[in-house]
Amino acid sequence: MNLVLLGPPGTGKGTIAKFIEVRFGTDHISTGDLLRQEVAEKTQAGKHIEPMMNSGQLVEDGLVLRILRKKLGSLKGKSFVLDGFPRNINQGKLLEKLLSDMCLELDLVLEIDSPQDIIVKRLSARRQCVKCMRIYGLDVPSTVPGICDDCGSPTVLRKDDEPQVVRERLRLYGSITKPLSEFYQKKGLIRRIDGNRSLQEIFGEVEKVLSVYA
């Protein structure tokens, strides 16, 4: 079961992807995390993309695709949940080509949505571990504020979760990413999930939907 999670930043896609990973054994692939890893390791690509990521701009399609191709190649047949890719129609087409080249198929696109004011509130409360990159938020806070439960490193507000950057990311989502909803609707792949509920309710619905494919 290979999935794409679609939806604006701050709708809990990462948390939902982790739930799916644990429940169904799929691999969670977050292009945002893969790119942040490049930045943290100060690779050539990382140095190039850091300012774009900090200001909420999208990184070039070709660069993200290269990183994604490498990651998919390392899965060795394991199914996956894509979180953060595709981000525009061109990436949607690139993904089709990539999967077909790798003899893989996309089974379903789950689109999660929430009202904007809730998103801004969630993102400004969100913290990420500087080392292992685990995300904490209103729904899942760390036990000791500011300290990661898993590795004991500090958790911080990401630069791209600052309010003015969040507004830019939401604007980009509406104009560039949202059209993918129709793109996948036409292919009969989309299933919409209301993200403005408790995590337990969302997990329950996701589990029901995906049990058909498991």
Structure tokens at 176: 């560039």
Q: Which of 87, 122, 127, 134 is catalytic?
A: 87
Question: Is 93 marked active-site?
Answer: no
Question: Binding to ligand AMP by residue 79, rule CB under 6 A?
Answer: no
Q: Which of 18, 127, 134, 158 is catalytic?
A: 158
Question: Is 192 marked active-site?
Answer: no
Q: Which helix (H) or strand (E) holds 39?
A: helix 31-40
Question: Is 121 marked active-site?
Answer: no
Helices (H) and strands (E) in the chain, counts: 9, 8
d(CA 187, CA 19): 26
Question: Binding to ligand AMP by residue 169, rule CB under 6 A?
Answer: yes
d(CA 155, CA 30): 19
Question: Binding to ligand AMP by residue 81, rule CB under 6 A?
Answer: no
Question: Binding to ligand AMP by residue 84, rule CB under 6 A?
Answer: yes
The residue type of 143 is T
Question: Binding to ligand AMP by residue 32, rule CB under 6 A?
Answer: yes
Question: Binding to ligand AMP by residue 114, rule CB under 6 A?
Answer: no
DSSP string, 73-106: HTTTT--EEEES---SHHHHHHHHHHHHHTT---
Exactly one of 1, 39, 58, 189 binds ligand AMP (CB under 6 A); that residue is: 58
Q: List, as residue ranges, the binding site for AMP.
A: 31, 36, 57-59, 84-87, 91, 158, 169
What is the contact surface with ligand AMP in residues (CB under 6 A)? 9, 31-32, 35, 52-53, 56-59, 64, 84-85, 87, 91, 160, 169
